[in-house]
């Protein structure tokens, strides 16, 4: 069994919890409120900056030139391409640039962003990648699941198509292959750290979507 197959199996129950959580169920059937989707889009745009920075750190730590390019391009895509997509969604759902700029990171977004950056800075290349993997893989699998059961004329069709699309899934398969490559030559101690980083980030994925559904704000 490959390392990523092992890590997916170990966290299968967590993924099922994410797949069936109210945010994703209502996203699939098109009943998710625009208020909740707007909250999600604003926070995700903030998060993508941290995700891009963490990818850039991974690129700097990569042990071969191909992977330097791979993760540098992914960092560019997270900050430029995906944020451009988010800006289109924000325009569609009535979020002004001023509203976005005035909205701080929610507690869950702050937690997830801080974890990704700390993990990327302080840990080895394999552990940094393991912490980044859930954002790729879980989104791909949620997108694949939702597109198979999405309501017709779903107001969130564009979001669903992005994360269920071939281009994104190709990228995810490439990242999975890199994680398997580095895990295959890693020590048992490093592999255990990779497990811990992946599971922690996967839990933060749940927290992120849940916080959007709850319209989370700072309590004080």
Instruction: Give per-residue pLDDT as tens, 54-70.
Output: 999 999 999 999 999 99
Secondary structure tally for the chain: helices H, strands E: 12, 0
Sorted by sequence, the CB contacts under 8 Å of residue 112 that are 6+ apart come out as 47, 50, 201, 204, 205, 207, 208
Instruction: Kindly list the distances between the CA atom of residue 62 and the CA atoms of 41, 57, 139, 168, 206, in Å, as whole numbers in the listed order.
Output: 30, 9, 23, 21, 28
Whole-number Å distance between alpha carbons of 220 and 213:
19
Left, alpha or beta for 32 (phi > 0: left; psi -120 to 50: alpha)? Answer: beta
pLDDT tens for 160-189 read 888 888 988 999 999 999 999 999 999 999
pLDDT band at 153; cut points 50, 70, 90: very high
Whole-number Å distance between alpha carbons of 139 and 164:
8
User: Is residue 84 scored above 80 in pLDDT?
Assistant: no
User: Is residue 83 scored above 70 in pLDDT?
Assistant: no
* Cβ-based neighbour number of residue 16 at 10 Å: 10
Instruction: Kindly list the distances between the CA atom of residue 197 and the CA atoms of 50, 84, 126, 194, in Å, as whole numbers in the listed order.
Output: 16, 29, 10, 5
Q: Note whether 190 and 126 are within 8 A (CB).
A: yes
Identify the weakest region by mean pLDDT among 74-78, 85-89, 191-195, 202-206. Answer: 85-89
pLDDT band at 87; cut points 50, 70, 90: confident
> What are the residue boundaries of the structural domains of the chain, listed by start?
3-213
Q: How far is CA 115 from the centre of its chain?
A: 13
Question: In the prediction, which pLDDT does 159 show?
Answer: 86
Question: In the prediction, which pLDDT does 81 show?
Answer: 65
Whole-number Å distance between alpha carbons of 176 and 186:
15
- What percentage of the chain reaches a pLDDT higher than 90? 81
Burial class (CB in 10 A: 0-12, 13-18, 19+), 135: buried
Which CATH topology does 3-213 take? Answer: Heme Oxygenase; Chain A (1.20.910)
Question: In the prediction, which pLDDT does 85 show?
Answer: 67
């Amino acid at each position: 069994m490959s390392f990523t197959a092992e890590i997916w199996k170990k966290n299968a129950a967590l993924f099922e919890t994410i797949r069936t959580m109210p945010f994703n169920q209502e996203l699939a059937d098109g009943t998710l409120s625009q208020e909740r989707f707007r909250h999600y889009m604003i926070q995700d745009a903030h998060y993508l900056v941290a995700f891009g920075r963490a990818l850039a750190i991974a690129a700097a730590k990569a042990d071969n030139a191909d992977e330097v390019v791979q993760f540098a391009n992914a960092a560019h895509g997270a900050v430029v391409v995906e944020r451009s997509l988010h800006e289109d969604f924000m325009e569609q759902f009535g979020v002004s640039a001023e509203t976005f700029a005035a909205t701080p990171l929610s507690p869950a977004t702050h937690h997830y962003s801080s974890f990704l950056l700390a993990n990327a800075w302080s840990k080895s290349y394999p552990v940094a990648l393991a912490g980044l993997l859930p954002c790729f893989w879980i989104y791909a699998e949620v997108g694949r699941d939702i597109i198979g059961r999405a309501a017709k004329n779903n107001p969130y069709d564009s979001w669903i198509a992005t994360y269920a699309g071939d281009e994104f899934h190709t990228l995810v398969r490439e990242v999975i292959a890199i994680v398997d490559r580095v895990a295959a030559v890693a020590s048992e101690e490093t592999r255990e750290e990779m497990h811990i980083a992946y599971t922690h980030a996967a839990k933060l994925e749940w927290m992120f979507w849940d916080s959007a559904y709850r319209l989370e704000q700072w309590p004080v």
